[in-house]
Structure 1
């Protein structure tokens, strides 16, 4: 509940401070006195629309503050906790300023917040039904809640919610598994190809270096053979070779040494050269015989080197590193080997949860359709009591087709939420013979408020935690017994809810636990609206004004006294 409201520079409301109690608080006053401005301010502080046109002329901003008791609002506490807002005890202060440039400054407790935070918090604690705002009844999710509470379907809906969460859990796991499997299949294909590619080449560590040396040798083998052959021919194989003519040279040298003894050493040197040449010939002969040259072997070596070079280039490393990568790729292949049985298990859980979910949502949808007629009949009675004899509320349930829907029926798929398959909308007709149309499109503010009261009355014994109900002139066009009936309903609702109500009907005003009168006066050439919390005598005079106008006769005062003494219960 709102325990205190502070308004500064909000249109005609220059400065207003109101302490608001439990139960039914009524606001009265002549037309244009500022009653709706108070409610516009309350709507704004609870996250409703705000406009710079409401800033008092000559001021830079308007400021609003509300102290809200959270004692009966666990949903509001949960929201504040999730959003990280801090508060002490059972109360929290909401503050809002709107500047001329349209910028809003919002605080929840001691923390800065956004208007959307206020709006979400406002939905947790208040229902606003005014000419300017319809923050509750027009929302389809809340319309569905009315129907479910009437049919005692909350537990069934809770089962649907849990079943949907369970189904989506297994659905997400199956999707994730399939995505992982798809990725692993692609990766396994790549790994399998790379492992096969490396193993088909089957490189050996150090092989590329030895093959490179062999290639160099084989590539020059023909030239080596030619040169060996030439040297051996010149040395001994041809007719006038060096070794064949060398003995004659030595013999001539021997004759010289006989004639010239001092040349004996030179003769010996020639003999040494001859022996050395014969030794060289033997070595060259052996080398030539060992020389192997094969064009086929060269081609094979070069082909093998090309394969190794391609692998090294592709994997960006040498043979030792390629062999290491081969082992790593084989290990990764084992890692990506997923058991098909795992998917079979997930498919089984997915299908089982879907069967359970479909059974529950169809059961819930049938149950809702079974309570439609009784619900509409009860609301119809309440609307009649509220002076809306010719009006009619019709509940329309439908399933929303969606190609990605999780529930199929026939050849179609349908959207599914935590509330089930049903999408609901209230249709309304204010007069006999008129075709019902969407409530959000055709109902006036006063009609919406009375429809809400009818719904509240029907669901009174199933009412949730107390709420703040803000009602603006829902008694428009009522009088006599219809006004008395409305007053009685408001009084009953106020036992579990704080109700703030603008009224022009004396029967309703007399029912209030607290009565504020709005009035205007002129001060220093400016119009100012103010509010006063009336005592018993002041209430009596205000009721008399509402009954007889400005002429406060004894009869009118007595009628006002009787109203206060006969408060509707």
Structure 2
């Protein structure tokens, strides 16, 4: 439920705050007073229309599933439109895109104005038939649930079969490619860490000749050991430091040993490094190469067994197809029994709304999660898309009322833009009666130029305009009599109009 609306600097409105209650709220006033502007503000803050308002706020009491969009849910959720250089939207002071704002609002708000026919979508109509059928057949709901579960499995198997059929078209190519990669990797038979170890050996071997040549020259120092010692003794200099240094040098020399490389074939090592390097360039690393090897072996096993897998899937597919056909036929049979009840219910509302009856038929279509049924609707052989906006909205109203009556569910907000425009008094009253029935399940906002609908409202708001701009306020009973009298007789209010207004309010 929308509890409050606040707007600032929006066309003829300088600033306005209104609080709303449940049930039916009607907005009246002379043409040009700002009724549509005010309704536009309500729609704009939910992203249904664009707005040049500097600020619009709406407080909504409803669980909206905001967590799904990363917004913390509160007991009263505040929607806000803020416009500076661009229009920005917020919920509970957290920014949200217009697209996600619409997704959230659509769960809570229905706008009946444009020629929109979402109420007549096949899945929605079948849902109503299913509710009616389940009330007549105790096993229907269970059968429908089992059908949908089987259909989900059927779709899963169909996807697997489609993939196999696609694979079969190029199976030889895929098989040969898998074999080629397996053979290429297994010929080298790489091991993790081997490439690094071989490169380290290559690096040391590349220095072997230079190291040995350098030590060959350095070892000449040992030939002068005695001469140096004699010189130190004659000079009465302690020779300990020289002895220590020479010992360290001998130890260092002995550590330079290439015995570990005896018998190694340097050409073989270089070839091995080249083979490993080729795999690394192709696959990124030895680890990834080994992972590809594992994957290709699995794929090859799959290709080798694909005929067996396909045969098994075809068997399951055929079995499920037959079961679904039988189940859908049983579902269709029950829906046929329910469709006339739905048709009768909708036509009872259409009669009250002074519209012609509709005919509803159940035809066949391709099987989907909702069965194999297509609901066709005809209004005097007219296509829904050829109806006027007024006719569409009254027809939508009949469907919404029927849906609420069948499901016992409602909730949220209905916004009606001049739904009683250009209608006679009795037609307007019929719409009022339907809206009063719906108002037990929905909060309803409606612009009206007719006293009949206005008189039935739980809350009556008057929109006025003067040189300072537009204002709006909720009327008390005496004020409602005056406004209804104006709607009946015009600016020159007659006694008869006042008496009729009081009668309407009884």
Same fold (TM over 0.5): yes
1:65 aligns with 2:65: no
Q: 1:64 to 1:142 in 2, by over 3 A?
A: farther
* CA positional deviation for 1:190: 2.7
Deviations, residues 299-340 of structure 1 (Å, cap 9, x unaligned) = xxxxxxxxxx9xx79x9369xxxxxx99x9799758843556
Match of 1:538 in 2: 479
Q: Distance in 2 between matches of 1:331 and 1:448?
A: 58
* CA positional deviation for 1:530: 1.5
* CA positional deviation for 1:145: 4.3
Q: Distance in 2 between matches of 1:83 and 1:451?
A: 34
1:84 aligns with 2:70: yes
Match of 2:97 among 114, 132, 155: 114
Which sections of structure 1, spanning at least 5 residues, go unmatched? 56-60, 199-308, 319-324, 401-413, 430-434
Q: 1:559 to 1:67 in 2, by over 3 A?
A: same
Q: 1:518 to 1:330 in 2, by over 3 A?
A: closer
Match of 2:250 in 1: none
Alignment of 1:76-475 (within 5 A): 76-77=64-65, 80-89=66-75, 91-98=76-83, 103-130=86-113, 132=114, 134=116, 136-137=118-119, 141-146=123-128, 148-149=130-131, 151-152=133-134, 155=141, 158-173=145-160, 182=171, 185-187=175-177, 189-190=179-180, 316=275, 333=297, 336-338=300-302, 344-388=311-355, 391-395=356-360, 414=366, 416-422=367-373, 424=375, 426-429=377-380, 435-437=381-383, 439=384, 441-459=385-403, 460-475=405-420
Question: SS of 2:107's equivalent?
Answer: helix
- Kindly name which structure, 1 or 2, has the bigger radius of gyration based on alpha carbons: 1
User: Would the aligned equivalents of 1:25 and 1:512 in 2 still touch at CA under 8 Å?
Assistant: yes
* CA positional deviation for 1:87: 1.8
* CA positional deviation for 1:562: 2.6
Q: Distance in 2 between matches of 1:195 and 1:35?
A: 77
* CA positional deviation for 1:539: 1.3
Deviations, residues 454-498 of structure 1 (Å, cap 9, x unaligned) = 223334142323231111222234445444333222111111111
Question: SS of 2:500's equivalent?
Answer: helix
Q: Distance in 1 between matches of 2:494 and 2:463?
A: 22
Match of 1:30 in 2: 30
TM-score w.r.t. length of structure 2:
0.67
Q: Distance in 1 between matches of 2:374 and 2:90?
A: 36
Question: SS of 2:358's equivalent?
Answer: strand
Q: Distance in 1 between matches of 2:152 and 2:275?
A: 49
Match of 1:512 among 448, 457, 460: 457
* CA positional deviation for 1:505: 2.2
Question: SS of 2:301's equivalent?
Answer: coil
Question: SS of 1:26's equivalent?
Answer: strand
Greater relative contact order structure (CA < 8 Å, 6+ sep): 2
User: Would the aligned equivalents of 1:67 and 1:93 in 2 still touch at CA under 8 Å?
Assistant: yes
Question: SS of 1:3's equivalent?
Answer: strand
Deviations, residues 48-99 of structure 1 (Å, cap 9, x unaligned) = 132xxx53xxxxx54322111115xxxx32xx2322221222x211122355
Q: 1:332 to 1:452 in 2, by over 3 A?
A: closer
Question: SS of 2:106's equivalent?
Answer: helix
* CA positional deviation for 1:172: 4.1
User: Would the aligned equivalents of 1:7 and 1:63 in 2 still touch at CA under 8 Å?
Assistant: yes
* CA positional deviation for 1:399: 5.9
Aligned residues: 403
Q: Distance in 1 between matches of 2:55 and 2:298?
A: 68
Q: Distance in 2 between matches of 1:333 and 1:563?
A: 84
User: Would the aligned equivalents of 1:126 and 1:470 in 2 still touch at CA under 8 Å?
Assistant: yes
* CA positional deviation for 1:194: 6.4
Deviations, residues 241-292 of structure 1 (Å, cap 9, x unaligned) = xxxxxxxxxxxxxxxxxxxxxxxxxxxxxxxxxxxxxxxxxxxxxxxxxxxx
Deviations, residues 76-135 of structure 1 (Å, cap 9, x unaligned) = 32xx2322221222x2111223556xx4311122321111112112221111112x4748
Q: 1:33 to 1:393 in 2, by over 3 A?
A: farther
Question: SS of 1:382's equivalent?
Answer: helix
Q: 1:195 to 1:136 in 2, by over 3 A?
A: closer
Q: 1:146 to 1:551 in 2, by over 3 A?
A: farther
Q: 1:11 to 1:333 in 2, by over 3 A?
A: closer
Q: Distance in 2 between matches of 1:378 and 1:531?
A: 38
Deviations, residues 369-389 of structure 1 (Å, cap 9, x unaligned) = 55444433432332122122x
Match of 1:552 among 490, 493, 500: 493
TM-score w.r.t. length of structure 1:
0.60
Q: Distance in 2 between matches of 1:333 and 1:510?
A: 79
Alignment of 1:35-50 (within 5 A): 35-50=35-50
* CA positional deviation for 1:44: 2.3
Q: Distance in 2 between matches of 1:396 and 1:114?
A: 41
